Amino acid sequence: MPSLKDLRVRIASVTATQKITSAMKMVAAAKLRRAQEQAEAARPYAERMERMLGSLAAASVGQAGAPALLAGSGKQEVHLLVVGTADRGLCGGFNSNIVRDSRQLIESLLEDSKTVKIICVGRKGRDQLRRQYGDMIIDTIEDVTKPRPSFEKSEAIAERITRMFEGGEFDVCTLIYAEFKSAITQIVTRQQLIPFAPAAEDEEVAEAGGGQKASYEYEPSEEEILEALLPRNLAVQIYKGILENNASEQGSRMTAMDNATRNAGDMINDLTLIYNRTRQAVITRELIEIISAKEAL
Amino acid sequence: MAEGKVEFELVAPERLLLSEPVEMVVVPGEEGDFGVLYQHAPLISGVRPGVIKVYNGGKVTEQIFVSGGFAEVTPARCTVLAEQAVPVSDIDRAEADQQLRDARDDLADAKDKHERDHAERQIAVAEAMLAAASG
């Protein structure tokens, strides 16, 4: 049985941990609200952009001279994965879930003997992938959410990816991030960025594309608009990914810290019970000793 | 949706700025301003830096500066995807002036074509912003 002093020390340390986790939970909750608002505010733009591009793409897919960003490079050999994770840990399974999914994707691509290149957005993803796939990681981008996620940063990433694509460094680009559903559910999502793949399940897109695509007028020309729209869409989709990721991270952290706080509370209760029992046992033992000593006299 | 009105949406990357049925909206298109009424022919157009004017009851009810983007028009709907959008009344002249100066400095320092294009775009945006602010 542990001594009274040991128990006191342990209770004190668990209480200190609980204070930290509950503070982290509070901070995550505050950040979550902001991140969630931002993510939800950005959704309309990304959706409209996809819809517009979808109807444009429907018209020009298969045509000769379609921009490479839309049609792809004609090959599927080199895959670029943009793995979005958090910069910090202590947020439950958030980072691990994304990394696990990335690993699956990497493995299945390697099995098909494709070449894989990785850009990590977020420190934690790099840390976890480095050991196995260190030679595939071409770059890590950190602190995209500091001080807050901004469109400019996504634009810079998009520009870089576009330049790499134009330089023929890869054929297919996929973005991996966690879509925010609620504080307890985040869904790891793979989104193909290049070549552009319209969300097929959207009926409105199909309808608009089918019924009206032929009659759209373009100002200036269709090609020019596509050329301007495609890189922009890339930036928008990356921005959306970063925002969703940010909200998911905070949500995941909040849930994890809530659990940790509750577990610490349970632990303190258990320890306090043992502590009191031990204390009483000590008192009883001392009494017995005194009484039996007296009787022996 | 009310008959004879256009469902107008103005979206910036950060948020949905405006979503309401309007009588008419004038958009600064790449090849000249165009007005959108109900039953407009389907159109996809680039947007140059300028002011979007929203008309209701024959009067301008809203003026929003956009720094560029795209517009999609269908008979019932007009969607503008702006890069950056600020209500004209919120434009800070001093800040726009500063932006213009910064952009000119950038242009002077530009090393390659890419940087020069970027700076030239910034100048166009800042100039349009100033023009919008002075009415």
Q: Say which range, A98-102, A122-126, A293-297, B114-118, has the weakest mean pLDDT.
A: B114-118
pLDDT of A64 > 80? The answer is no
Task: Give the chain A residue whose CA is nearest to the CA of B82.
Answer: A45
pLDDT over 70 (residue A147): yes
A45 in contact with B at a CB cutoff of 8 Å? Answer: yes
Could you please state the CATH topology (level 3) that the domain comprising B6-88 is classified under: ATP Synthase; domain 1 (2.60.15)
- Residues, chain A, total? 297
Q: Across the interface, do B13 and A208 touch by the CB < 8 Å criterion?
A: no
The pLDDT of residue B134: 77
Nearest-angstrom CA–CA distance, A256 and A183? 10
pLDDT given for residue A63 in this prediction: 63
Cβ of residue B125 closer than 8 Å to a chain A Cβ: no
Q: How confident is the model at residue A215 (pLDDT cuts 50, 70, 90)?
A: low
Contact residues, chain A, for B83 at CB < 8 Å: 232
Residues of chain B contacting A49 with CB distance shorter than 8 Å: 81
Residues 148-187 of chain A with CB under 8 A from chain B are 151
| DSSP result, A70-89 | HH--S---EEEEEEE--SS-
C-alpha gyration radius of chain A: 28
Which tens digits make up the pLDDT trace of B12-62? Answer: 887 888 899 999 999 999 888 999 998 888 888 889 999 999 998 888 888
Sequence letter at residue B46: G
- Strand pairing of B24-29 and B50-56? antiparallel
> Does the beta-carbon distance from B30 to A219 stay under 8 Å?
yes
**Mean pLDDT, residues B99-107:** 87
8 A C-beta contact, residue A153 and residue A124 = no
Which residues in A lie closer than 8 A to residue B79 (C-beta atoms)? 48, 52
* pLDDT of A60: 67
* A12 confidence band (pLDDT: 50, 70, 90): very high
pLDDT at A207: 46
Q: Tokens representing A275?
A: 């502590």
Q: Any idea what DSSP says for residue B90? A: G
Using the predicted structure, report yes or no on whether residue A278 has a pLDDT greater than 90. Answer: yes
Mutate to test the interface with A, among B10, B70, B113 (most CBs of A within 10 A): B70
Which residues of A are known catalytic residues?
91
Reported as a pLDDT band with limits 50, 70 and 90, residue A201 is: very low
pLDDT, residue B135, reads 64
Q: In CATH, which of 3.40.1380.10, 3.40.1440.10, 3.40.50.300, 3.30.2020.10 is domain A36-256? A: 3.40.1380.10
pLDDT higher than 70, residue A1: no
Contacts of B44 in chain A (CB under 8 A): 52, 55-56, 216-219, 222, 225
* B38-59 as b/e: b if 16+ CB within 10 A: bebebbbbbbbbbbbbbbeeee
When CB atoms are compared, the residue of B11, B16, B46 closest to A225 is B46
> If you measure CA to CA, which chain A residue comes closest to B45?
A219
